[in-house]
Amino acid sequence: MVPVHVGYVGVTHDVRLDGLDLFFTHVHLHGVPAPVRRFLPDLIDRTFDRQIEPGRVFDLTLPIEQAADGYTAMDQRRAIKVLLRP
């Protein structure tokens, strides 16, 4: 059996996984916290100044008034990341 490595970034919410479920499966689960708040102000500035193009990350664009719809789309896996425009 070939080992499988699963990685994630960020803190899981409402996800429970019994370690015994993975113990004999050769699945390795690796995760780290994401210090997003530390990097976010600089990334927002560089995005608005057009120094970086976030198009590879965002797959749905909505007006800011529809922010709740964007969260719903991500929760339902219809979008990976939503870009909100003013």
Q: Total structural domains in the chain?
A: 1
* Amino acid 21: pLDDT: 78
Give the rounded percent of residues in the chain with a pLDDT score beyond 90: 35
* Amino acid 61: pLDDT: 95
Q: pTM for the full model?
A: 0.44
E strand residue ranges, the chain: 4-9, 27-32, 60-63, 82-85
- Print the domain residue range for 24: 4-85
Per-position pLDDT tens, the chain of length 86: 788 888 888 777 777 777 787 788 888 888 888 888 888 899 899 988 989 887 778 899 999 999 999 999 998 989 989 999 98
Distance between CA atoms of residues 54 and 83, nearest Å: 9
